[in-house]
Amino acid sequence: MFAVKRILLLIYFAFGLLLNSVGVVILQVIRVYGVSKEAASSLEGLKDMPIAWVSLLVGPYLVKIGYKTSMVVALTCVSLACWGMTEIKSFGMAQLMFLVAGCSFALVKVAVYSTIGLVTVDASAHASLLSLVEGCFMLGVLAGYWLFGFFMSPGSVGSEPADHQSEGWLRVYFILCALSGMLAVLVALTPFDGVSKSASAHEANGGSSGARGLVAVLKEKSVLCYLFTAFLYVMVEQGIGTWLPTFNSEVLLIRQDLSVQLTSLFAAGLAFGRLGAGYVLRRVEWHVCIYVCICGAFFVLVVGLCLASVAADSARFVVPCVGFFLAPVYPSLTSAVMSSIPKNQQPSLTGLVTMASAVGGSSGSLMTGVVFAKLNGIVAFSMSLPPLLFISILVHALRKTLEANRESRKLNIGIPPRFNEHNL
């Protein structure tokens, strides 16, 4: 099982590097191809909407297709799309690349989340591995910011800073093409026998797929509350993460290559916050962790935006720190709900939450981009504050619902309630 877990970490690292390059690509297509901010923001939608629909329509069937096969197909498609970015230098190719990346990530996310449920033995192990996987995703994001920043910086290999039409940043996609291709081969060569047998056993033991699986999951009282909470969280995270390079460049007036590299602080906060959450969640209740993180994120964002108006030099380091406090929220929520439902329902739930996350990310990026263009970056980032408050309210409701579900399951398996003890 260790080899399978290692594969999951590497795959998420690669997709973190690729998918969250959208913020950098938005900055570059505006500068290099002369695309408007409104048009550039469509890249987020082209990435997220395929994630939403593919995960919803195909995700519940992946247990029949095979998690390993899904990963190999996804990585192969991504490798070809990245090669296309290096050969066809246009905004249209960027749109196609993110479309392919979105479809591929939908397959990978459902496969990875479902596999985590099969290779872990209890809720704490599930929370720890999920946080580690999400942490590796953010390490990929962090590496991506520095990788793009290197190829965009003056004097780097392939960069042409004096030329406004510099295409040195596209050389990153040679690396992504090779990385995805090597991972596809590695997955193909790694035995998934134990995982495949577990998946087949859970499918045979009352598992349902397709529309029936989705209906079964939606009957869980906690699921709708969880999906809306995940939607709001990703809307906040993607709205900030996608437009932070442009915020640094246009609001804080930082050179473009440094704008990208400073954005890596946001990714670093997300990475270390999620890796740390894997340790913290073994000792602290998940809802307590989320409450503390929401309060910290709200405070840091308010302070950072205030400083952006009066002390840009300080704001450039404060605003990205919101990532550290946002980081544990998503894996904590996901693990709490995933570990509370039967394993044969987890692929369907993963498809639903992937769709909710994709729609949330696309909505957050689009709304932030429109407000950024019409008003300014400070107002655009301030829009993230109300959703943070709603998340804290929804977490309270979700905790109550999960506790009620737990008590209900105890009754269903025959544990007598205390008030009936005198009737025995």
Residue 213 confidence (pLDDT) above 60? yes
- % helix / strand / coil in the chain, to the nearest 5? 85, 0, 15
pLDDT at 153: 63
pLDDT at 381: 92
Dump pLDDT digits (tens) for 265-278. 888 888 888 888 87
**What is the spatial distance between Cα 91 and Cα 379, in angstroms, rounded to a whole number?**
28
CA atoms within 13 A on the CB side of 107: 20
pLDDT at 242: 82
157: its two tokens: 């290999």
Q: Which helix (H) or strand (E) holds 96?
A: helix 91-119
* 160 band by pLDDT with thresholds 50, 70 and 90: very low
**What is the spatial distance between Cα 36 and Cα 374, in angstroms, rounded to a whole number?**
12
Residue 11 confidence (pLDDT) above 70? yes
**What is the spatial distance between Cα 180 and Cα 77, in angstroms, rounded to a whole number?**
9
Residue with the two structure tokens 């992504």 = 176
Residue 183 confidence (pLDDT) above 70? yes
- Phi-psi category of residue 50: left, alpha or beta, with phi > 0 → left and psi -120 to 50 → alpha: alpha
Dump pLDDT digits (tens) for 97-146. 999 999 999 899 888 888 887 877 777 777 778 888 888 888 888 888 77
**What is the spatial distance between Cα 262 and Cα 265, in angstroms, rounded to a whole number?**
6
How far apart are the two ends of the chain, measured CA to CA in Å? 46
Secondary structure (DSSP) of 104-126: HHHHHHHHHHHHHHHH--SHHHH
CB 112 within 8 A of CB 11: yes
Contacts of 403 (CB under 8 A, 6+ apart): none
341: its two tokens: 């439902």
pLDDT at 415: 47
Secondary structure (DSSP) of 157-218: TT--TTSTT--GGGGHHHHHHHHHHHHHHHHHHS--HHHHHHHHHHHHTT---HHHHHHHHH
**What is the spatial distance between Cα 32 and Cα 151, in angstroms, rounded to a whole number?**
14
| Residue closest to 11 by CA, chosen among 225, 183, 222, 249 | 183
- The rounded radius of gyration (Å) of the Cα atoms in the chain is 22
* 413 band by pLDDT with thresholds 50, 70 and 90: low
Secondary structure (DSSP) of 288-311: HHHHHHHHHHHHHHHHHHHHHHH-
* 423 band by pLDDT with thresholds 50, 70 and 90: very low
Residue 163 confidence (pLDDT) above 50? no
Higher-scoring residue by pLDDT: 206, 18: 18
For residues 360-365, give the mean pLDDT.
85
**What is the spatial distance between Cα 211 and Cα 351, in angstroms, rounded to a whole number?**
11
Residue 279 confidence (pLDDT) above 60? yes
**What is the spatial distance between Cα 403 and Cα 178, in angstroms, rounded to a whole number?**
47
Contacts of 14 (CB under 8 A, 6+ apart): 75, 78, 140, 176, 179, 180, 183
Contacts of 385 (CB under 8 A, 6+ apart): 298, 301, 302
Dump pLDDT digits (tens) for 64-111. 888 889 999 999 999 999 999 988 888 889 899 999 999 999 899 888
Count Cβ atoms within 10 A of the Cβ of residue 200 and give its class: 0-12 exposed, 13-18 middle, 19 or more buried.
middle
Higher-scoring residue by pLDDT: 67, 221: 67
**What is the spatial distance between Cα 49 and Cα 360, in angstroms, rounded to a whole number?**
10
* DSSP state, residue 366: H
Highest mean pLDDT among 95-99, 109-113, 160-164, 210-214: 95-99
CB 78 within 8 A of CB 162: no
For residues 309-333, give the mean pLDDT.
87
Residue 367 confidence (pLDDT) above 50? yes
CB 345 within 8 A of CB 114: no
